[in-house]
Amino acid sequence: MIDPRTHLWSADVLPEFRLGLENLRAHKLRSLLTMLGMIFGVAAVVAMLSIGAGAQQEVMAFIEQLGVRNLIVEAREAPDGQTLQKVRKLSSGLSFKDLRIIQTNLDGISALTARKRFTPSKLMPRPLGGDAPIVYGVSPPYQAIANMQVAAGRFFDEGETTAAAPVAVLGEAAAAALFGTDDPIGKYVKVNDQWFRVVGVAGPQLTVQSDVAGVPAQDRNNIIYVPLYSSVFRLEDGQSAQKDEIDGIYLQMQPGSDIPAAAALIRGILDVAHRGAGDFSIVSPAQLLAEQRRTQRIFEMVMVAIASISLLVGGIGIMNIMLASVLERTREIGVRRAIGARQRDVVRQFLIETTIISLTGGVAGILLGVGLSQLIGVLAGWSTIVTTGSIVLAFGVSVFIGIVFGLYPAVRASRLDPVKALHYE
């Protein structure tokens, strides 16, 4: 027994599909121009969403690397000397005393370290091009807080930190800049006037090109880690009495801790200790991640709305061309109606043609959008990600707009008077 649905497809839809293709092939240039609006609209949606998704994923991956259970206190640098003098009248800056106060008053801390950093004026061996590595003075808990993997050697321990041992761990880029392809373990690096023995090389870490909510932009792979109490920092401090004693505090909270409440408590403690000088900022990666996800959703909606304008213009183009096609084929429509075609048959015929235009334009637009996103990624150096969601969204909207804008010409064609249509010249 033949399935009625199969019979309907083979007897009605398939012949009309072939007829639609023949009509479009008969007017190749006009069909191509009609598709251009859909092609560029779909390509714009795919390319813009891929650029946005790449940028957002890069930032979100960086925030996740900061640790959702972590809190970071950053010293806020004054923009000029006059502002710095006003701040120093209220606060001497971030210090080890602040670290001890936080440790005493905040429950649920699983790891804690101060950080002090500077850019050395002299380095041996000389860096092989690029920016000079930055020196970070930290304690051993920094490795766990920063989720740092050691690719070779080891990280320095508490004994070496307490004794201010002249040892160092190099970031991946710093090791390459100072020693090239040679194994740096056991070799020495001279930072300003102090020699450090390299005991480890850190694994690769994600970086971003701009500041993220108070976290300064820098190459996190181009860092030399040394014990916090090394004499190189005492020599550095002697050059400027205006510098903070430390410039960062990293905390990792225990699982289940209320991170926003902990951040609020730290802010209150430091506001009192610094007499409201506002010379610090608190970064909560967990809150940043949630905010970034909200921003990503808003960004995607705005991008889709902007790119959909192109699709709307493409839909108007389809309607315009199909109305002209109805006028050109008035006699053909009259003949079909005269030999028994129903109104819905005529509607289906024209909707099949608009659907073919939309489908073809959508596929071509997806290919163009993917190509554009890859080209932008290569030429501009941006991270681009073509997601399945962006392809489905762009393709679905293009087909929907094509059908909606093709419906009016199809209905208008079906309502033509067969007698008048047969006599139309």
Q: What is the per-residue pLDDT across 132-185, written as a single tens digit (0 to 9) for each?
A: 899 999 999 999 888 888 999 999 999 998 888 999 999 999 999 999 889 999
Residue with tokens 């960086």, as numbered in its chain: 62
Q: Are 268 and 101 in contact (CB under 8 A)?
A: no
Per-residue confidence at 2, pLDDT binned at 50, 70, 90? very low
Cα–chain center distance at 362: 25
What is the Cα gyration radius of the chain? 33
Distance CA 378, CA 157 (A): 42
Q: What is the pTM of this model?
A: 0.63
For range 334-348, the mean pLDDT: 75
Q: Which of 268-277, 339-348, 392-401 has the lowest mean pLDDT?
A: 339-348
DSSP 212: B
Q: Are 164 and 227 in contact (CB under 8 A)?
A: yes
Q: What is the pLDDT of residues 18-66, one digit of tens each?
A: 766 777 777 777 778 778 878 888 888 888 788 777 777 766 666 666 7
Position 102 scores a pLDDT of 92
Position 142 scores a pLDDT of 93
Domain boundary assignment for the chain: 15-62+291-422, 114-246
Per-residue confidence at 362, pLDDT binned at 50, 70, 90? confident
Distance CA 300, CA 282 (A): 28
Q: Which of 13-17, 45-49, 120-124 has the lowest mean pLDDT?
A: 13-17
Give the other-Cβ count within 10 Å of 269's Cβ: 16
Exposed e or buried b for every residue in 98-113, given b needs 16+ CB within 10 A?
A: bbebbeeebebbebbb
pLDDT of 344 strictly over 70? yes
pLDDT mean across residues, the chain: 80
Tell me the pairing of strands 194-202 and 188-191. Answer: antiparallel
- Provide the residue type at 340 as one letter: G
Give the list of residues 6+ apart from residue 160 with CB closer than 8 angstroms, or none.
Answer: 167, 227
- Provide the residue type at 177 as one letter: A
Residue with tokens 């259970």, as numbered in its chain: 69
The dihedral of CA 269, 273, 278, 280: what is its sign?
A: negative
Strands (E), 245-374: 248-253, 280-283
pLDDT of 286 strictly over 60? yes
